[in-house]
């Protein structure tokens, strides 16, 4: 098979998460209070996912997700499902600008391995079963970097003699997980990653601290190696992209800074597409796109020029102008458009209405159709 058999990214695409519906939010609260059984809760969850997928298709999307309705967090639920990872109370909130999160977290509890009973498999099977003909079910999962960054795996020496062995096991677990999604019918997988934005911040902060700077450079290189290892030997007709995120919780963010500091690393990653946030000045200019694209004609850069953090609609002509500016660094045929992030990276969701959410989706589609008509 050739790369031409790959599906996506599409010229107008989505990052993946959607605002939880009132019905789902009520069911989550009742389930946690013991007022709904697991089966009763799953029935509500499935009904709301089916309605969401139908709405996505009605709004013209060519790739649909379950809105992450089947999880609470964009990243932690998946990590908890891996063998060798456990849930614990970190007792500290993530340091978002202007909001505090719940204190759930993940940490190593043994050697990392593929879990054949990972709950995300059943979630994908259901998504696949309700996806209309002619539309692609898109599976999103967090990057493995989300496990070996920060404090989540400081305890790796308890289970491994060599860090390389830990990272290899992690890459292998991901590779096997993605292959299982493929067996279940997935042809479009997206790996979400806030680590690059974290590294932008840290590499910029430590420019004048050689020892600290080298530590973050080493983490960046580890990330490249783990990601490229997990991407090895995947089926030729499977599209795997990444979304580089600056954090998304109740319309707040975690990190700022342009892509210059990490462009050389992103340019080494063997993903098929890169969803990059460009909705405001925090993202810097387009020049690093040249390094990220790295002359690879089989890659797509998806410009996240439409914010998902508020309901204000962007000016169509202004967005088209920015896409044209990006063509200085990446050919137009290798560009695409999306919102900068999802609408609800956690179950709480961003501060906008469902109507504003769908207006954003319609705007992305309308602009993309004007550009790539």
Contact 357, 38 (CB under 8 A): no
The most distant pair of C-alpha atoms in the chain lies apart, rounded to whole Å, by 57
Determine the distance from the C-alpha atom of residue 249 to the mean position of all C-alpha atoms in its chain, rounded to a whole number. Answer: 14
Residue 41, domain CATH? 3.20.20.210
Distance between CA atoms of 252 and 54, rounded to whole angstroms? 29
Phi and psi based region of residue 159 (left: phi greater than 0; alpha: psi -120 to 50; beta: remaining): alpha
149-190 pLDDT, tens digit per residue, is: 767 788 999 999 999 999 999 999 999 999 999 999 999 999
Cβ-proximal residues to 247 (8 Å cutoff; 6+ apart), any chain: 94, 96, 194, 197, 253, 254, 255
Contact 372, 11 (CB under 8 A): yes
59: left (phi over 0), alpha (psi -120 to 50) or beta: alpha
- Give every CB contact of residue 209 below 8 A, 6+ residues apart in sequence: none
Distance (Å) of CA 188 to CA 68, 179, 191, 222: 15, 12, 10, 25
Cβ count within 10 A of residue 226: 21
Whether the Cβ atoms of residue 115 and residue 174 lie closer than 8 Å to each other: no
CB-side exposure of 329: number of CA atoms within 13 Å? 18
d(CA 31, CA 42): 10
- Residue appearing with tokens 């961003």: 350
Domain count, the chain: 1
Prediction pTM value:
0.92
Contact present, 224 and 165 (Cβ < 8 Å): no
pLDDT by residue, tens only, the chain of 373 residues:
344 589 999 999 999 999 999 999 999 999 989 999 999 999 999 999 999 999 999 999 999 999 999 988 877 889 999 999 998 866 554 443 444 445 678 889 999 999 999 999 999 999 999 999 999 999 999 999 999 876 778 899 999 999 999 999 999 999 999 999 999 999 999 999 999 988 998 999 999 999 999 999 999 999 999 999 999 999 999 999 999 987 544 444 455 678 999 999 999 999 999 999 997 766 678 999 999 999 999 999 999 999 998 889 999 999 999 999 999 999 999 999 999 999 987 777 777 999 999 999 999 999 999 999 8
Range of the domain at 165: 3-371
- Tell me: the pLDDT tens digits for 285-303? 899 999 999 999 999 999 9
Q: State the Cα–Cα distance between residues 362 and 365, nearest whole angstrom.
A: 5
CA distance 140 to 16: 7
């Amino acid at each position: 098979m050739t790369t031409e058999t790959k599906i996506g990214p599409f010229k107008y695409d989505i990052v993946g998460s959607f605002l939880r519906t009132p019905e789902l939010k009520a069911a989550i609260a009742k389930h946690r209070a013991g007022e709904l059984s697991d089966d009763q809760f799953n029935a509500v969850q499935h009904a709301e996912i089916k309605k969401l997928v139908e709405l996505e298709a009605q709004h013209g999307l060519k790739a649909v997700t379950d809105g992450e309705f089947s999880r609470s967090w964009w990243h932690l639920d998946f990590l908890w499902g891996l063998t060798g990872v456990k849930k614990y109370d970190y007792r500290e909130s993530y340091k978002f600008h202007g909001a505090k999160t719940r204190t759930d977290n993940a940490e190593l509890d043994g050697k990392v391995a593929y879990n054949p009973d990972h709950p995300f498999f059943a979630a994908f099977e259901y998504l696949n079963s309700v996806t209309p003909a002619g539309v692609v079910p898109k599976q999103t999962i967090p990057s493995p970097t989300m496990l070996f960054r920060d404090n989540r795996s400081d305890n790796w020496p308890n289970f491994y003699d060599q860090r390389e062995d830990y990272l290899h096991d992690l890459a292998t677990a991901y590779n096997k997980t993605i292959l299982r999604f493929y067996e279940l019918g997935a042809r479009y997988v997206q790996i979400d990653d806030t680590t690059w934005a974290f590294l932008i911040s840290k590499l910029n902060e430590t420019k004048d601290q050689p020892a600290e700077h080298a530590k973050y450079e080493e983490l960046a290189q580890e990330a490249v190696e783990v990601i490229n290892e997990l991407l090895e030997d995947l089926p030729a007709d499977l599209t795997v992209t990444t979304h580089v995120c600056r954090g998304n919780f109740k319309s707040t963010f975690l990190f700022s800074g342009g892509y210059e500091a990490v462009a050389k690393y992103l340019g080494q990653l063997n993903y098929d597409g890169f969803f990059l946030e460009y909705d405001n000045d925090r993202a810097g200019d387009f020049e690093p796109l040249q390094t990220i694209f790295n002359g690879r004609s089989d890659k797509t850069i998806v410009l996240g020029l439409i914010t998902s953090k508020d309901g204000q609609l962007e000016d169509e002509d202004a967005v088209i102008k920015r896409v044209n500016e990006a063509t200085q660094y990446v050919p137009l045929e290798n560009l695409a458009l999306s919102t900068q992030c999802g609408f609800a990276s956690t179950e709480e969701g961003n501060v906008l209405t469902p109507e504003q959410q769908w207006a954003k989706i319609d705007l992305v589609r309308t602009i993309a159709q004007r550009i790539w008509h």
